Structure 1
Amino acid sequence: ESFHDNIPFVSLPKTFQDVVTVTRKLGYQFLWIDALCILRDDLQAWLREAPKMSSIYSESTCTIAAHGTKDDNEGSLTATLEPADVSKLILGRCFREQVNESFLTRRGWVFQERILSRRILHFTRHHVFFEDVSGVHAVDAGASPPPWTHQPWRDDKLVVQNVVATMADWYKLVERYNICALTFDRDRLPAVAGIARFVASYDFAREYLFGLWSKSLHQGLLWVAADNSPQEVFYGLDYDGPPRPPSWS
């Protein structure tokens, strides 16, 4: 309740302090951090606020991703915060290991947030990357600025239209999403619902049914376990645990 009026800067975890500093350096007044704005222990608050997350990320000016730590108290934005030029990056092992395979990227909610965001600043322990609809750029204080460096930031969504252009794309996306980690099993469908809302406007989609689409329901019900899949616990018809979405969604 005390945070409604004021949040003392010194009371924030170190990573949050770093994000506040970056936001100020970028010249913006407003910052939204889900861990501060959504009370996960309050089910009613979560049910009210969780559906808004997709619109928050898709409409935000920039998303800041802190990949350098697993703990909010460590702080991870170690690169210089001074203005620097950017250069177009040919994606290689560095970006893959520090961003695509990071602990943060493997989180279920982050999967949707990255796809819906207009642009992202990725902070790792050793580098800073800027990602927008035109690609990924490495921030390098010593680089010669390319001619488009001083152009205004683009306002179109990052990759929703490019990632999910066909039904096959949707199922590839679901396959990638299913290996992501979620703290609460109840989040499995909500954490991808924002992408589903975009896809629902496409002709190939129609009605959304627990991770499947009515127009291709016969295809969506087909599945096979990967050869390297670990053995999982299978729930029988007498399962009496918390409600779960169907295993195929």
Structure 2
Amino acid sequence: MLDGIPLQNLPKTFRDGIYITRGLGIRYFWIDSLCIVQDDMDDWTREAAKMADIYGNSYLTLAATGSRNATEGCLFSRSVQLRRMYDGSAEVLRRQRLQATKFHASHNGTPFTVYARNFSGQAHENFTQAGSNTRTLLAPLLSRAWCFQERMISQRVVHFHKEEMVWECGTCISCECGFLQTSSDTSASSESFREQPTKLQIAQVLQNKRTKLEAFDTWRDIIRLYSSLLLTKESDRFPALAGLAVRFCSVLNCGYLAGFLDEDIPRALLWVTTVSPDDVYRASGNESEEVPTWSWASILYRRFFRNERPFIGSAYVLQTGGKFNTDHRFRIVAVQGKPDNAYMTGSGVTLRY
């Protein structure tokens, strides 16, 4: 058993995290890849089941959002490139605070002029509903499936993006440049609620401040975002979402089956891919052992669900109005499955017409 690890022996991202934690006066710092024994399946299975609780109960989560790996750190040199703006974009310029201000100064009797403007970061595009999975070249962490659950469950997250720092918590999302200042609105209508960033939706659901139908809508949005994210092992598709599923099921008092909340199965089964059939394929071999073919997880590409309104930016719009109605001639006879550990156990559903 090691008594300690010399700081200089740790990767740069770990060292940066330690410096930040010390600067904040926080005593304990948990790093998943350091605290879980790597290449030990027993330890991984045991500890992976606890990860949602660890992130959910942490005081603060530090996200090295702009790093591709542990060697790049999370304290970056900022880009100073001015964004090209289109004609007629005065309102955009104002909102992004890009106007330059002129200062006159002198040094040792020599006068000079300084033109200054606020940093033109656009990291906020990664944290809006429509842009949640965009610009991942500058934010590699946001493309990783395991990190999605950790980010959504954490009470507070500070993102160290390539362009700026972004704050996320259950009540607001804010960025340095000031463009993104989004607050949670628990009194919002169902339609307005759906327009809030997913993390704010999840916080309201887990605090039992939204209806079941709104919670089901949020879960489908979670799957829409999550299903396009990357995994080293596709067999982790369910484990990397299990902690969030447990929390939803606890609040909603419902079951869980192969990526679906059981009370929403009649509606949730209406999933389709957003791309050409030529660009998708079904899980096979070890990838398919825990994935029934009727689950969205059986298709290794992005998916979304039919809804009362189309998803903005989706490849296909299937339904533009009306309400969803269940045909009650169909009845779910039995559902088996629970996310009681890192892997979902017992997947099956019986329907009767």
Tell me if the contact between 2:12 and 2:73 (Cα under 8 Å) persists in the aligned partners.
Answer: yes
Tell me if the contact between 2:17 and 2:62 (Cα under 8 Å) persists in the aligned partners.
Answer: yes
Which residue of 166, 169, 183 maps to 1:132?
A: 169
Tell me what 2:25 maps to: 27
Q: 1:124 and 1:227, CA in 2 relative to 1: closer, same or farther beyond 3 A?
A: closer
What secondary structure is seen at the aligned counterpart in 1 of 2:273? Answer: coil
Q: Provide the TM-score with structure 1 as the length reference.
A: 0.77
Tell me what 2:43 maps to: 45
Q: Which runs of 5+ in 2 are unaligned?
A: 79-95, 98-120, 179-198, 207-213, 298-353
Tell me what 2:124 maps to: 95
Q: Measure, in 1, the Cα distance between the counterparts of 2:205 and 2:276.
A: 25
Q: Measure, in 2, the Cα distance between the counterparts of 1:11 and 1:158.
A: 38
Q: 1:6 and 1:133, CA in 2 relative to 1: closer, same or farther beyond 3 A?
A: same
Deviations 1:37-81 (A, max 9, x none): 11231110111100100000010000001122212112221379x
Q: Size of the alignment, in residue pairs?
A: 219
Which residue of 287, 291, 315 maps to 1:245?
A: 291
Q: Which moved more, 1:211-220 or 1:55-64?
A: 211-220
Question: What is the CA distance between 1:230 and its match in structure 2?
Answer: 5.6
Tell me if the contact between 2:201 and 2:218 (Cα under 8 Å) persists in the aligned partners.
Answer: no
Q: Which moved more, 1:92-101 or 1:164-173?
A: 92-101
> Which consecutive segments of 4 or more residues in structure 1 shift more than 4 A?
97-100
Q: 1:76 and 1:240, CA in 2 relative to 1: closer, same or farther beyond 3 A?
A: closer
Identity %: 33
What secondary structure is seen at the aligned counterpart in 1 of 2:175? Answer: strand
RMSD (CA atoms) = 2.9
Tell me what 1:55 maps to: 53
Which residue of 234, 253, 259 maps to 1:185?
A: 234
Which residue of 157, 162, 173 maps to 1:120?
A: 157
Q: Measure, in 2, the Cα distance between the counterparts of 1:196 and 1:224.
A: 21
Which residue of 246, 251, 254 maps to 1:206?
A: 254
Q: 1:40 and 1:163, CA in 2 relative to 1: closer, same or farther beyond 3 A?
A: farther
Q: Which runs of 5+ in 1 are unaligned?
A: 81-88, 144-156
Q: Measure, in 1, the Cα distance between the counterparts of 2:77 and 2:201.
A: 26
Higher strand fraction (1 or 2): 2
Q: In structure 2, give the amino acid aligned to 1:115.
A: M
What secondary structure is seen at the aligned counterpart in 2 of 1:193? Answer: helix
Q: 1:132 and 1:241, CA in 2 relative to 1: closer, same or farther beyond 3 A?
A: closer
Question: What is the CA distance between 1:221 and its match in structure 2?
Answer: 2.3
Q: Measure, in 2, the Cα distance between the counterparts of 1:132 and 1:113.
A: 12
Q: Provide the TM-score with structure 2 as the length reference.
A: 0.56
Which residue of 162, 183, 197 maps to 2:204?
A: 162
Indicate yes or no: 2:128 matched with 1:110: no
Question: What is the CA distance between 1:179 and its match in structure 2?
Answer: 0.3
What secondary structure is seen at the aligned counterpart in 1 of 2:158? Answer: strand
Q: In structure 2, give the amino acid aligned to 1:126.
A: E
Tell me what 1:225 maps to: 273
Q: 1:19 and 1:195, CA in 2 relative to 1: closer, same or farther beyond 3 A?
A: same
| Greater C-alpha radius of gyration | 2
Tell me if the contact between 1:112 and 1:191 (Cα under 8 Å) persists in the aligned partners.
Answer: yes
Q: 1:74 and 1:233, CA in 2 relative to 1: closer, same or farther beyond 3 A?
A: same
Q: In structure 2, give the amino acid aligned to 1:245.
A: V
Tell me what 1:12 maps to: 10
Deviations 1:13-51 (A, max 9, x none): 011100000000000110000010112311101111001
